[in-house]
């Protein structure tokens, strides 16, 4: 994408007013729209939606990909192992942490959830505008056009307690 092999992604404004609509949706675009609409009535989010959300917020560099995290992803000041969306204006608390590692819901587990950038996987998702496909492409355009098998590689859990190893038994 660039001369020095460092992939670059164009930033987009949070203001959605200037967005256009593509006439033909890509596979991931269509799927993301469908998943988002289904998510509203589900009690729990499902794995495919959460995978898209995790990709939208966290990118996939930790899993061998080239997509960096969203520019608005922030580390929680309360717990450095948790992250919040800095563009939502929801603050920093266990309720706003995007991913939880317990049986509590993380923010990305909620069926109906809006993203300020209207990224894939969120209920207010809007497809990228035609200009987002010109280099450097936007993160949204990149996610919409990657092989869906890559999306499926994103590891997620759905508000479930992590498997804990059984405590060793102590003979008395
Ligand atoms: S919710 Fe949207 S704006 Fe916020 S970190 Fe995730 S992708 Fe970025």
pLDDT of residue 37: 64
Residue 87's alpha-carbon distances to 13, 52, 74, 80, 91, in angstroms, are 11, 18, 9, 18, 10
pLDDT in tens, the chain (172 residues): 445 677 788 888 776 665 554 556 676 776 677 666 655 555 667 889 999 999 999 999 998 899 999 999 999 999 999 999 998 888 898 888 999 876 677 889 888 888 989 999 998 899 999 899 999 999 999 999 998 888 888 888 876 534 343 434 444 3
pLDDT of residue 161: 39
Q: Is the CB of 87 under 6 A from ligand 1?
A: yes
Q: How far is residue 128's CA from residue 19's CA, in Å, rounded to a whole number?
A: 8
Tallying the residues shown for the chain, one arrives at 172
- Best of 32, 53, 57 for a ligand 1 pocket test (most atoms within 8 Å of beta carbon): 57
Residue 73, φ and ψ in degrees, nearest 5: -70, 130
Helix (H) or strand (E) holding 148: helix 148-152
Residue 169, φ and ψ in degrees, nearest 5: -80, 140
pLDDT of residue 160: 52
The answer to whether 76 and 84 have CB atoms below 8 angstroms apart is: yes
pLDDT of residue 165: 39
Contacts of 32 (CB under 8 A, 6+ apart): 52, 120, 121, 125, 144
Q: Is the CB of 117 under 6 A from ligand 1?
A: yes
Ligand 1 atom closest to 70 (CA):
8
Sequence-distant contacts of 20-23: CB under 8 A, at least 24 apart: 20/129, 20/130, 21/126, 21/127, 21/129, 22/127, 22/128, 22/129, 22/130
Minimal-distance CA residue to ligand 1 atom 1: 115
Tokens 């007013």 correspond to 17
């Amino acid at each position: 994408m660039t001369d020095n092999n460092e992939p670059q992604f164009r930033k987009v404004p949070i203001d959605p007013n200037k967005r256009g609509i593509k006439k033909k949706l890509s596979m991931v675009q269509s799927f993301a729209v469908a998943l988002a609409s289904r998510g509203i009535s589900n009690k729990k989010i499902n794995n495919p939606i959460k995978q898209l959300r995790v990709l939208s917020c966290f990118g996939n560099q930790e899993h061998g990909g080239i997509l960096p995290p969203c520019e608005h992803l922030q580390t929680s000041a309360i717990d450095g192992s948790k992250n919040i969306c800095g563009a939502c204006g929801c603050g920093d608390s266990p309720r706003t942490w995007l991913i939880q590692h317990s049986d509590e819901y993380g923010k990305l587990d909620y069926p109906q959830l809006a993203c300020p950038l209207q990224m894939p996987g969120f209920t207010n998702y809007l497809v990228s505008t035609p200009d987002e496909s010109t280099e450097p492409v936007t993160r949204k355009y990149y996610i919409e056009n990657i092989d869906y098998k890559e999306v499926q590689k994103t590891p997620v859990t759905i508000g479930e307690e992590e498997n804990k190893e059984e405590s060793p038994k102590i003979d008395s």
